[in-house]
């Protein structure tokens, strides 16, 4: 059971916009700790997609964006592309001095 809650799956057609939610509590996201997002393509290691709630590392397209409010965060992908099909994970820090991940969301591009 992951500390952060994500929908198991989302889907969208090429060109569409999708969002993936990440819900925590007052000990992690709600305590003001940043949320980070990772993309994991099949058979590969996770890749940092968004850090500090809204920031994109160099090389990440601006089609990917993040937001945070209260005890939740969201990842948005606009102009969906076939190559975006992957698993997406949110991650934050918890007051119990640990790092926590979401359960992951499988994105299917129809």
Apex 58 CA angle, 60 and 78, nearest 5: 20
> Please, where are the H alpha helices in 1-110?
none
Residue closer to another protein, measured from CB, 24 or 36? 36
Among 22, 56, 93, 107, binds another protein (CB under 8 A): 93
- Residues 94, 28: contact at Cβ < 8 Å? yes
Query: Do 24 and 74 touch, CB atoms closer than 8 A?
Result: no
Shortest Å distance, C-beta 12 to another protein: 22
Q: Shortest Cβ distance from residue 105 to another protein (Å)?
A: 10
Q: Which residues bind another protein (CB under 8 A)?
A: 2, 33-34, 36, 38, 40, 44-48, 51-52, 57, 89, 91, 93, 96-104
């Amino acid at each position: 059971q992951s500390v952060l809650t994500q929908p198991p799956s989302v889907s969208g057609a090429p060109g569409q916009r999708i969002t993936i939610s990440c819900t925590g509590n007052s000990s992690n996201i709600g305590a003001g700790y940043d949320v980070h997002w990772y993309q994991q393509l099949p058979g590969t290691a996770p890749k940092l997609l968004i850090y500090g709630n809204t920031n994109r590392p160099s090389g990440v397209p601006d089609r990917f964006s993040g937001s945070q409010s209260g005890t939740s965060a969201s990842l948005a992908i606009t102009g969906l592309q076939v190559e975006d099909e992957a698993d997406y994970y949110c991650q934050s820090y918890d007051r119990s001095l640990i790092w926590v991940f979401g359960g992951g969301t499988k994105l299917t591009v129809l």
